[in-house]
Structure 1
Amino acid sequence: MLKIYQDPAKSISERVADLLSRMSVEEKIAQMHALWLILSPDGSHEIRSDQFTGASDPKAVHRMLSLGLGQITRPLGTRSIEPREGVKALNSLQKFFMEETRLAIPVMSHEECLSGLMVKGATLFPSSLSYGATWNPDLIEKVGAAIGEEARAIGCHQGLAPVLDVARDARWGRTEESFGEDPYLVGVLASRYVRGFQGEKRDVLATLKHYAGHSFSEGGRNHAPVHLGWRELNDTFLLPFEMAVRTANAASVMPAYHDIDGEPSHASRHLLTKVLREDWGFDGILVADYVGVSLLYQHHGLAADRAEAAALSFNAGLDIELPGDDCAPHLTQALERGLITMETIDAAVSRILTEKFRIGLFERPYADEDKVVLRTAEAVDLAREVAAQSVTILDNNGILPLAADAKVAIIGPTADDPLALLGDYSFPVHLIHNDETEAVASVVTPLAAFKALLGEDRVKFAQGCYILEERRSGAPVFPGDVDDATSLELASTLSTRLDLIPAAVEAAKAADVAIVCVGDLSGIFQTGTVGEGSDADSLVLPGVQQQLLDAVVATGKPVVVVLTSGRPYNLGGLEDKLAAQVMAFFGGERGGTAIAEVLTGGREPSGRLTLSIPKNVGAVPYFYNHKLKSAGTPIARHFGSRYPFGHGLSYTDFAFEDVALEADTVDIEAGEIVLSFTVRNKGSRAGVAVPQLYVRDRLASVVRPVKELKGFGRVELEAGTAARVTFRVPVDMLNFTGAEGHRIVEPGTFDLMVGTSSADIKLRKEVTVSGKTRRITGAWRMESTCEVVTLS
């Protein structure tokens, strides 16, 4: 006879209560952590041990597994294994839990899913900055859905994505993982990714990270402290998370490594319980960032030992420790010492079991190893579409699109390096940290793409220089913190070779146009020039790339710079001497194809920056939605951005005209700002306009930004045609965190600005919000809409 928890006809709450009542303390605690194992199809699983995860006693592995397990860490993504074999190995582990443990509780598996499912053979999607540059929420929802389908195919139940960090300091290595610097845009795109990834059934869990404020660290340094007051934290860094929880029903959240004003996120009951669960109604599970619980005693000095660190995190609201079992098993000691209660443990385990029941894991514990389908033609086409829509033209003197008969020199260290198109959480790049390599034959480089489009006879290649001559692991410590007293001299791994530059100069001289491909090689913990733990001290191109660019520009030939990177860079003052400058981010496996198609005119450029490119590293941190006095007194010369948030050029010209408001005054309680205008394509070819609506609060009870994005859209127009665009902005979206720490909407006058970027404003209106100051409580209207009607 079935026990209550084994009966799918019973309610989830009944099943959870029944199972919880049958579990020992040790079995409960086993659900509160993961293990990082090297799985084998024959069941001979080995513990993965290194300086990152620490090590569990291999002799104790079987005993530990006999108690059950909350999650298995990256069963396919840890190493290079054929997906079908990986699923077989995962099924063998699951079979052990289902047939050889007392209660037969299945395990959940998680994988990284930021730039696609991070396993061998999966689609290599572009980076999150590319997602952002599309300004296309519908497209990003499709990306989430495609990645979610690949995750389901390998038995993955939780994906550690998306990243909702609002970019603030371009030196920060993880800038590439963000959607951009605007909280509203990040919130919209992240929410759509979550909806796509989880699907209507929410049968695979998206994970919002890194909660919260991780991107505003001291000096843009990995793990560094964050100095934020509650108002700025809530309005800028928490807003995207709130949007993804409230509007997309996100199933999991991951705290960040840093501390805010001395309180680490992994120990913050205010953030993990009060804000997330009680205020926002989050009903999923909280999983630790890797070794985040351990850092409470190893680095933060908040806990004396593992037991205390575990108690701090789980008392704060954490549910599962990842990636291993460093601290959670010590909860038995924490119980004995009175540091935690059984009620707290039961609450966490109940939430974990609820998710396992809800996704149907007890009824469908195994993945079908004969139906592992990855990297379909449709998924690759989708990756190509994202890459194409994200290519952003920063400058163009008319050289682009390239002339049909142009002879082209393709020059630079990123021109023919497949890894230069992949982000830090792409499978081939991530493996470098373990001194492993993975085939990248599916990646189309810019050189290969231009040869395919133009023909071999019209393309000449010159390497010019290297960024890194050898890719290897090499962070001095992990995860990268050293004591103040440590004298640590790190030799740069950047190439200093200049001997390849003369050949590049000759190639440029022999061509009609020189396309110079420069930028980054992404990689975690100093295996690259950008990525997690690969922070920068300047915005100068890494290595000798600037010297290469100087030499090619000096030839007098037209130079088009293509930057594939994870952060913006300055070009040594050459911006005015270039024929064109193109930002292509990390475009994934079809990134080269996208670049070639856009530059040759096969695709219309529609990418727009979601990061301002600071004029100078001295302006960092710089972002468009700053306060008025950020500019200094009177105005610092290095402040500002030549290429601001929202900027991007087309191959045609658009006129913005006939702006109108439905009403000049709207009610503060339930009002809606309705603003419409016409976009007209004045050029001779089709194009894509990306109108952006910004708002400024003229008078408020606290200091407010100079402008904030509140609406955007994409308008595709044939030559000579026009469309009427209507933005509808709920008054709720004018809220901010007031003096008492709550979201409020105040009456008053607001400037409305429609532009092609945050700096290029084409149309202006003002609207009055009438009524009395209103406190926002519970759910609120968080998104505007954009309606586009083609005019006859």
Structure 2
Amino acid sequence: MRKNIGKISLILLSATVLVSWTKKNDDPGKQPVIKATSAKILTIDKLQFKDLNGNGKLDKYEDWRLSPNERSLDLLKQMTLEEKVGMLLISDTRMKNQWGWGGVQKKNTLPIEPTFNEEDEVSKFNMFTQEELQYPVMNAAGTTKGVTKFHLRHFILRTDTSTKNLAEWSNRLQTLSENTRLGIPSLVTSNPRNHLTSNVAAGTNVSGTSFTKWPTELGLAAMRDHNLVKKFAETARQEWTSVGIRKGYMYMADLSTEPRWQRTEGTFGEDPQLAADVIEQIVLGFQGDKLGGQSVAQTVKHFPGGGATQKGHDPHFSWGKFEVFPGNQLEQNLVPFKAAIKAGTSAIMPYYSVPKDTKYEEVAYAYNKAILRDLLRKELGYKGIINSDTGIIDQMPWGVEKLSAEQRYAKALEAGVNMFAGNANPELLLKGVKNGIIDKKYIDESVVLLLEEMFKLGIFENPYVDVEAAEKLVGNKDFQSLAEIAHRKSIVLLNNDKNSLPLKKSTKVYFENYFRKYSDDKNKTGDVQKLAKVNGLEFVSTPEEADVILLWIKPAIKPLFESTKEPLEINLSSCAVNVDYINSLTAKKPTILVMNYTNPFVIDEIYNDKTKNRFAGVLATFGTSNEALLDVISGKFNPTGKMPFTTPISNEAVINNREDLPGYKEGKDYGLFWFNDGMSYKK
């Protein structure tokens, strides 16, 4: 790949994106595309409409010329209480031969198929204690049952499968939905699918997809190229809509101020303004200037910011439920959310955390009226959907453990929540309404907001996708060429001793791409890449043959859903790195050290006063490819990236850090590499 990588593709892609946006139909007076499988088409004044309820006349909710609010209010009047309650739940959904939270596939079965999985996976309330719970249980119902009996219309799809499977399954789901009493379509949601991440976890991201692969969220922030961030979102949007995924549980506006937090990789770094700038472009790229027929609605999370977790522990677990603000920085946490609201984000998700020692009630944010109705809605002016995180009722009900499930629903609705994630069975929510524990006005309030989003997305008129077109679009060369530019721009040059980089032509390089799985306790020596000549460099098989060692270390912090009460550590020996082996290797020859950061790792075990002179250069990556790294090492691409966070100088600095402060505010003795550090080659 050369310095001018992707220039032609970039021009072509920009045109593609522009055409795609201009083709969308958000003009309420212009005939939209109408597609149906069972509903009859009504022709009135030479215009077409779908007769979704089959009564032979045009109802207001079927009239695309009316506003989303008018249509929603009309449909609300026609819905039964059971249909309304079903709208408020969003649950996992699966394809045939697939089961489990996050789309885990059964062993020794046929491949995943684009038809329905009809098995229930609905756990009882309070089924697990926190000692037993290793990951949140995503309740799911058989697809047909979910749509026709439980009246569900919101689904989370976490499946790794082909583009064709995704598109065909989506069409089948919409056909099933169209055949119900009111013909209300389904809205399919997903976690991020477009990143080259090493920390794959059900409920946080989806890997192994056919979608275009970009750097991780930290890598997008490291680029410091907001135009390219927006193009990322625009290309991802086209891929998502082509297969029928019209909503995202993303992106994280949380600040990575606590270096031990296991969800750091999904953030845009520690700086409020950088995170705000990136999240604004993300929302605009996925949704457009307003939500419309080609948009992917965004669910920005986790309000009011979940990064200041006490000692790094995550509130998925009782021992990590508190969010603390020793630096009085709660207001700074709001900066990225203000940007997302300004950009028009369709939904916002509060976290499980309980604010500790603040003016707010010590209950989880989803139950916190002062946080949601007063701060988010009144003070910040937010008017969209508030979507709870998974399992707040039956698994992570922090601060309201003594309330019944019906009472928890009531408190969350009163606080401002409109949709509940992680439960497919509406029985207890329905029971709470019928018993008078839950005020029906909160149900109606939520249904209107949820329907308005669906009307704005245009899925009442046409929820179907073109399978063949999707296969051609997803992962196409133009999209990936643009992503390759991002990979290179995300790489950060942190140190270049005596201008050792870029490496001169014919330099003999021993390249070791060193990584181990977190759970692997064997002393492996890593994966030695056997390469021929690349970009003028000559790759050799042993350190002894080399002029320089290129060492790429990919530490692995303990996975989120394997958490325990034990202290979290981010030094290399605690993150699946054989420090003794690394030190013996780097003692042999001058070394270019490359660190892949998912957290601000402490690297003093290999990079300290005694060993610093071993390293001719130090670089940071955030989920990228060998090819991108080699282009930077060889000088084919001039590094321009900047650090999205500060890396602590020692474990002691980590232990003493104030959870809500960015590293650059911790003091001059805190950092090894600082936020915004990043060099380019001298010319």
Smaller-chain TM-score bracket:
0.7 to 0.9
Map 1:401-416 → 2, pairs under 5 A: 401-414=502-515
Which of 386, 407, 427 does residue 308 from structure 1 map onto? 407
Which of 65, 83, 106 does residue 185 from structure 2 map onto? 106
1:605-641 CA-to-partner distances (Å, cap 9, x unmatched) read 111111111111211236996699955xxx9xxx321
Map 1:182-581 → 2, pairs under 5 A: 182-202=271-291, 203-223=295-315, 224-228=320-324, 232-246=328-342, 248-261=343-356, 262-297=362-397, 300-325=399-424, 328-372=426-470, 373-397=473-497, 398-414=499-515, 447=529, 452-454=534-536, 458-461=538-541, 507-521=542-556, 524-525=559-560, 536-541=568-573, 542-555=575-588, 557-569=589-601, 570-572=603-605, 573=608, 574-581=611-618
Amino acid at match of 1:92: R
1:388-425 CA-to-partner distances (Å, cap 9, x unmatched) read 111111111122100111100112424xx9x99xxxxx
Which of 71, 79, 83 does residue 15 from structure 1 map onto? 71
Cα distance in structure 2, aligned partners of 1:412 and 1:651: 23
Q: Is the 8 A contact 2:305 2:334 kept in 1?
A: yes
Q: Is the 8 A contact 2:388 2:419 kept in 1?
A: yes
Cα distance in structure 1, aligned partners of 2:274 and 2:550: 32
Cα distance in structure 2, aligned partners of 1:61 and 1:125: 35
Cα distance in structure 1, aligned partners of 2:665 and 2:576: 35
Q: Is the 8 A contact 2:554 2:595 kept in 1?
A: yes
Cα distance in structure 1, aligned partners of 2:192 and 2:141: 30
Which of 168, 190, 211 does residue 88 from structure 1 map onto? 168
Q: Is the 8 A contact 1:384 1:593 kept in 2?
A: no
Calculate percent identity across the aligned residue pairs: 23
Distance 1:157-1:623 versus aligned 2 partners, 3 A rule: same
**TM-score normalised to structure 2 length:** 0.76
Q: Is the 8 A contact 1:310 1:331 kept in 2?
A: yes
* Between structures 1 and 2, the one with greater strand share: 1
Amino acid at match of 1:510: E
Q: How many residues align?
A: 559
Cα distance in structure 2, aligned partners of 1:628 and 1:517: 26
Q: Is the 8 A contact 1:134 1:606 kept in 2?
A: yes
Secondary structure at the counterpart of residue 560 of structure 2: coil
Q: Is the 8 A contact 1:94 1:107 kept in 2?
A: yes
The alpha-carbon deviation at position 563 of structure 1 amounts to 0.9
Q: Is the 8 A contact 2:513 2:529 kept in 1?
A: no
Which of 632, 645, 655 does residue 675 from structure 2 map onto? 645
1:220-251 CA-to-partner distances (Å, cap 9, x unmatched) read 112123444699454221111011101x1111
The alpha-carbon deviation at position 173 of structure 1 amounts to 1.2
Q: Is the 8 A contact 2:433 2:439 kept in 1?
A: yes
Q: Is the 8 A contact 1:296 1:303 kept in 2?
A: no
Q: Is the 8 A contact 2:230 2:285 kept in 1?
A: yes
1:337-359 CA-to-partner distances (Å, cap 9, x unmatched) read 43321111100011001111111
5+ residue gaps in structure 1? 421-431, 433-444, 462-506, 653-684, 686-792
Secondary structure at the counterpart of residue 282 of structure 1: coil
Cα distance in structure 1, aligned partners of 2:660 and 2:350: 27
Cα distance in structure 2, aligned partners of 1:137 and 1:524: 30
Q: Is the 8 A contact 1:450 1:596 kept in 2?
A: no
Distance 1:295-1:104 versus aligned 2 partners, 3 A rule: same
Cα distance in structure 2, aligned partners of 1:334 and 1:396: 64
Q: Does 1:151 align with 2:240?
A: yes
Distance 1:49-1:264 versus aligned 2 partners, 3 A rule: same
The alpha-carbon deviation at position 592 of structure 1 amounts to 1.5
Cα distance in structure 1, aligned partners of 2:659 and 2:680: 23
Cα distance in structure 1, aligned partners of 2:284 and 2:564: 26
Q: Is the 8 A contact 2:530 2:539 kept in 1?
A: no
Secondary structure at the counterpart of residue 295 of structure 1: coil
Cα distance in structure 2, aligned partners of 1:554 and 1:627: 31
Cα distance in structure 2, aligned partners of 1:350 and 1:405: 66
5+ residue gaps in structure 2? 1-56, 97-113, 124-134, 196-204, 357-361, 520-526
Cα distance in structure 2, aligned partners of 1:67 and 1:87: 24
Cα distance in structure 2, aligned partners of 1:62 and 1:624: 44
Distance 1:8-1:640 versus aligned 2 partners, 3 A rule: same
Distance 1:526-1:448 versus aligned 2 partners, 3 A rule: farther
The alpha-carbon deviation at position 166 of structure 1 amounts to 0.6
Structure 2 match to 1:73: 156
Cα distance in structure 2, aligned partners of 1:348 and 1:148: 26
Structure 2 match to 1:53: 137
Amino acid at match of 1:607: G
Amino acid at match of 1:387: H
Q: Is the 8 A contact 1:401 1:598 kept in 2?
A: yes
Amino acid at match of 2:62: Q
Q: Is the 8 A contact 1:396 1:581 kept in 2?
A: yes
Greater RCO between the two (CA within 8 Å, min separation 6)? 2
Cα distance in structure 2, aligned partners of 1:644 and 1:304: 45
Q: Does 1:172 align with 2:258?
A: no
Cα RMSD over matched residues?
A: 3.1
Cα distance in structure 2, aligned partners of 1:35 and 1:176: 25
Cα distance in structure 2, aligned partners of 1:338 and 1:20: 20
1:553-604 CA-to-partner distances (Å, cap 9, x unmatched) read 222x2111111130233132133431111111212xxx22111011110111
Q: Is the 8 A contact 1:524 1:534 kept in 2?
A: no
Cα distance in structure 1, aligned partners of 2:462 and 2:648: 51
Secondary structure at the counterpart of residue 263 of structure 1: coil
Distance 1:194-1:551 versus aligned 2 partners, 3 A rule: same
Amino acid at match of 2:584: A
Distance 1:64-1:311 versus aligned 2 partners, 3 A rule: farther
Distance 1:388-1:82 versus aligned 2 partners, 3 A rule: same
Amino acid at match of 1:409: Y
Q: Is the 8 A contact 1:558 1:579 kept in 2?
A: yes
Q: Is the 8 A contact 2:221 2:269 kept in 1?
A: yes
Cα distance in structure 2, aligned partners of 1:512 and 1:600: 14
